[in-house]
Amino acid sequence: MTQPRILEVRTRILKKNDELAREMRREFESLGLLVVNLVSSPGTGKTAFLKETLSRLLARGIPAAAVVGDLETDNDARRLAASGVPVRQIMTHGLCHLEAEMVRAHLADWNLADFHYLFIENVGNLVCPTSWDLGESVRLALLSVTEGEDKPLKYPGLFNTADIAAITKIDLAEACEFDRETALANIDAVRPGMQVLETSVKTGAGIEEWLASLATRRAMLTP
Amino acid sequence: MHELSIAMNVAELAREHSRLHGDGRVSAVTLRIGRLSCVHEDSLRYSFELVTEGTPLAAARLRIIEVPIRIWCPTCEAERELPGIQRLACPECGHLSGEIRAGRELDLESIELAPETTP
């Protein structure tokens, strides 16, 4: 044989991660567990948003848990644990995103059937987490008013994979001269029709709407 | 640098498939990368070189086919290719559409096995 041979492979590069994530999602959903993957830039307020979410769920007796990805510290996990719900830290040691296997390894000895919601706080990054399915049912992309209205246009890949967007820190909108209409139009341009929440953990704006949206989505899972 | 993780997955898949076919030397690897997939081509090439160094894949060329975004436009009732990635709107009528038909690919398309050298 003197000619090179071409093997058509036609497979997803992240096949291993995809298959594991699919298997995890099936398990989560069969337990009635809604898993949410939170993605944003560093500094958008993911941790504060999640802390508020967890506190309100806890106050209503709705069981939830969280795993938090971070490059080096466990500061976020400690902040979240203050809300009184079970929290685990995934330290990625420099890796810019979470992968399905890392999440699974950190869930090992939790009885997932005990929870209604599991939140995964991804590493603060608007590029790298895009292609890694973590077995979530909902991907929430957060964007703060301090970041500028054009973030969705700069990171269309990530916003396009999201199921819900949350604009955070809207209590600061005026001080930042945040152009709400443009921000909404930009989100709609990269993910037409996506639900957008306008939130503030300071004033509580949008948080009830967020919890209601979670409840609706969880109700749709129940087998 | 998530391209490093992607390159590791590419190398692993390429090795697996070449082993299934007589373990020949891989001379090229072809990927299809959609424009919405957030992969930086230069970083991916650099990462691929790094992860294949000293392995049977070291000499393999990396071919990358960039796939533009295609959406379904319900107004025109047609599939449309988009010039950019920042507006999922039909270039003909301006209708926004989230019905993506192409552009999210992150696929290993094929591998090329070098001809066996006669002893």
Inside any domain, residue A6: no
Residue range A90-108, pLDDT digits in tens: 988 888 999 999 999 999 8
Q: Confirm whether A134 is domain-assigned.
A: yes
CB pairs under 8 A between A and B: 116
**How near does any CA of chain B get to the CA of A158, in Å?**
8
Q: Sign (positive/negative) of CA torsion A86, A79, A61, A135? A: negative
Which among A215, A13, A35 has a CA at the least distance from the CA of A132?
Answer: A13
Query: B103: nearest CA in chain A?
Result: A157
> What is the CATH code of the structural domain delimited by B1-68+103-119?
3.30.2320.50
Burial of B12 (0-12, 13-18, 19+ CB in 10 A): middle
Note if the pTM is more than 0.90: yes
Which of B8, B9, B86 should one mutate to test binding to chain A, selecting the residue with the greatest count of A CBs within 10 A?
B86
In a domain, A4, yes or no: no
Task: Please provide the DSSP assignment of A73-125 as one string.
Answer: --HHHHHHHTTTS-EEEEE-TT-SS--HHHHHHHHTTS-GGG-SEEEEE--S-
A 128-147: CB under 8 A from B: 128-132
Q: Does the CB of A93 have a partner CB in chain B at under 8 Å?
A: no
- Domain ranges, residue A127: 15-221
Cross-chain residue pair A160–B1, CB shorter than 8 Å = no
**A9 part of a folded domain:** no
Q: What is d(CA B70, CA B103) in angstroms, rounded to the nearest whole number?
A: 6
CB-CB under 8 Å, A11 with B89: no
Res A204 pLDDT > 90: yes
For chain A, the domain total comes to 1
Question: What's the CATH number where A186 sits?
Answer: 3.40.50.300
A10 touches chain B (CB under 8 A): yes
The residue whose two tokens read 């000293």 is B54
Contact predicate B6/B89, CB 8 Å: no
User: Which of B21, B37, B98 has the CB atom closest to A131's CB atom?
Assistant: B37
pLDDT averaged over every residue in chain A: 94
Q: What is the pLDDT of residue A222?
A: 64
- Would you say residue A213 lies in a domain? yes
Three-class secondary structure of residue B81 per DSSP: strand
Q: Quick check: is A122 in a domain?
A: yes
The answer to whether residue A46 is domain-embedded is yes
On whether any CB of chain B is under 8 Å from the CB of A55, the answer is: no
Q: What is the mean pLDDT of chain B?
A: 93
- Each domain of chain B, given as residue ranges in start order, spans 1-68+103-119, 69-101
Chain B residues lying within 8 Å of A15, measured CB to CB: 9, 13
Confidence of residue A1 (pLDDT cuts 50, 70, 90): low
pLDDT value at position B118?
55
Which percentage of chain A shows pLDDT scores above 70? 99
Got the DSSP string for A34-80? EEEEEE--TTS-HHHHHHHHHHHHHHTT--EEEEEEESS--HHHHHH
